[in-house]
Structure 1
Amino acid sequence: MLFEFIICFIAGLGAGLGTGFAGMSAAAVISPMLITFLDIPAYQAVGIALASDVLASGVSAYTYYRNKNIDIKNGLVMMFTVLIFTLVGSLLASLISQNTMGAFSMIMTLLLGIKFIVKPVMTTKEKMQEVSAKKRFIQSVVCGIVIGLICGFVGAGGGMMMLLILTTVLGYELKTAVGTSVFIMTFTALTGAVSHFAIGGTPDISVMIFCILSTLLWARIAAKFANKAEPKTLNRATGAVLTVLGTVMIIVNKIQ
């Protein structure tokens, strides 16, 4: 039981920091940890990770909302588009291997972390508001289609894809990008968790509770820090967290 708690705590720590700082999906961290060290079946591990993601993303989104660092209107547009086209992309998922799916998420996490350290996002909210509402709506739909297709096809990296596109393509300020990302991930994780439990049955309850509480704790800590940090500090902190998580996930995958 102690070993189980330690693994869940460490997995939740990584997932929570990734969620609070970068809107990263908890599944990218928790799933490989549970599969590798606790021998939990992959399908159940993903379900537990998604369940952990729901509360962690929800609390993070609320924290960003209280600090006015979230774009709910365009976030809803992108969320619905992502959900629809994830289903479309999933039809193509059988064409590639599980290893390819996992590798995509890990490599993207590592590269995005390095990107934030080397080339930080310094866009301001004033610069964001220069884009017309109509153009932003169209951009949200198009980017939602791209993210959905990639997530459905590759099976991983949704949070990372959203953060990358929100900051580089849509020109979002970093805090607003993360806030919008965790807002979207709250609902996508809920949809995924419900479907996993409906199909795969009830997972290991103790493991799920440990993971949910640990992820929630660290996501709240990270979100509160992120909303108070200066842009340059936040970029470096986000980059460091993603770089470390990407490296650790690659190592864990090799062990597996």
Structure 2
Amino acid sequence: MISLLTIIFAGWGAGIVTGLVGASAVVIVTPILVNFLGYSPYTAIGISLATDVIASSISAYTYHKHGNTDIKNGIYMTIAAVIAALVGSKLSGQMSDSILGGSTNIVILFLGISFLRKPIHQRIEDFKEKFDLSFWKKRKLFSSLFFGSLIGLMCGIVGAGGGMIILLILTFVLGYSVHIAIGTSVIIMTFTALSGSIGHFIVEASVPYLEVVLSCFGALIGALMAANYANLASEEKLSKLVGTAFICLGLISLA
């Protein structure tokens, strides 16, 4: 019973971070399943990707209700990411458990420190002042295909739906506001996570149905709660809240 409740809690936490800032379920579900319940990183990543599908789709629906989505410029990115995610899933199956688990924990810690140090919207403005992005802005089709492929590979290999990377691309390259970028990124992430999870379970030749259902149930509740709150909260408040949680989880997982 404790294990079942833990899986539901992991899914709920994944729904929270996805609804708040469009982050992938991998930052919550994978370390909890691996470090506390003894699942292999590869299986945990597959469950995380399946959880991402629910968390992202619910978040996308909520953001759309508030008028904070625009999928038009993300179609090509989605296509490239979905194809690359299938390739990444096969590569992931050939990597050792220690590499998969360690890379996931490092990503979590890095994201936490980044969020806590500076809000997302401020980091975007600083980045725009330091770097010339005219090359990518003038070639939006090429940029969408290129970055979409990178996102898809990352999704398939380490189980991250690519939400934060998509968010950065939409804000830096395409000039979206933060809230619209998050809403659009979770739409794209729904499809990349679906592609990645299918690829994972094909390679693994089995599906942990109970774990997927429980985690997705928690994600459904968490995403509804967080996405409604996120559409009304400031970027600074969201960044500090999620950053603190990520740092704590990352340090525990690495330890």
Q: How does the TM-score come out when normalised to structure 2?
A: 0.79
Show structure 2 runs of 5+ residues with no match: 126-133
2-structure distance, mates of 1:21, 1:250: 21
In structure 2, the partner of 1:196 is 200
Cα distance per residue 1:55-95 (max 9 Å; x no partner): 11111111112222112111221112223445667788779
2-structure distance, mates of 1:197, 1:90: 9
In structure 2, the partner of 1:108 is 110
SS in 1 for 2:119: helix
Show structure 1 runs of 5+ residues with no match: 124-130
Residues 121 and 167, structure 1, Cα contact 8 Å, conserved in 2: no
Quick one: structure 1 residues 172 and 250, their matched pair in 2 at CA, closer, same or farther if it must change by over 3 Å? farther
In structure 2, the partner of 1:173 is 177
Shift of 1:185: 0.9
In structure 2, the partner of 1:127 is none
SS in 2 for 1:120: helix
Residues 16 and 222, structure 2, Cα contact 8 Å, conserved in 1: yes
Instruction: Confirm whether residue 141 of structure 1 aligns to residue 130 of structure 2.
Output: no
In structure 2, the partner of 1:117 is 119
Which among 220, 226, 231 is matched to residue 230 of structure 2? 226
In structure 2, the partner of 1:251 is 252
2-structure distance, mates of 1:195, 1:95: 15
In structure 2, the partner of 1:240 is 241
In structure 1, the partner of 2:35 is 36
Quick one: structure 1 residues 154 and 16, their matched pair in 2 at CA, closer, same or farther if it must change by over 3 Å? closer
1-structure distance, mates of 2:6, 2:238: 24
Q: How many residues align?
A: 242
2-structure distance, mates of 1:239, 1:161: 19
Instruction: Confirm whether residue 11 of structure 1 aligns to residue 13 of structure 2.
Output: no
Q: How does the TM-score come out when normalised to structure 1?
A: 0.78
SS in 1 for 2:180: helix
**Residue type of the alignment partner of 1:66:** K
2-structure distance, mates of 1:115, 1:166: 21
Quick one: structure 1 residues 119 and 71, their matched pair in 2 at CA, closer, same or farther if it must change by over 3 Å? closer
Shift of 1:136: 4.1
Shift of 1:252: 2.1
**Residue type of the alignment partner of 2:113:** L
Shift of 1:6: 3.1
In structure 1, the partner of 2:80 is 81
SS in 2 for 1:228: coil
**Residue type of the alignment partner of 2:244:** T
SS in 2 for 1:166: helix
SS in 1 for 2:216: helix
2-structure distance, mates of 1:200, 1:86: 15
Residues 179 and 231, structure 2, Cα contact 8 Å, conserved in 1: yes
Residues 109 and 243, structure 1, Cα contact 8 Å, conserved in 2: no
The residue correspondences of 1:55-94 to structure 2 (distance < 5 A) are 55-86=54-85
Shift of 1:103: 4.1
Residues 69 and 176, structure 1, Cα contact 8 Å, conserved in 2: yes
1-structure distance, mates of 2:164, 2:187: 14
Quick one: structure 1 residues 167 and 240, their matched pair in 2 at CA, closer, same or farther if it must change by over 3 Å? farther
CA RMSD of aligned residues (A): 3.1
Shift of 1:34: 0.9
SS in 2 for 1:189: helix
SS in 2 for 1:170: coil
2-structure distance, mates of 1:101, 1:150: 11
2-structure distance, mates of 1:193, 1:27: 12
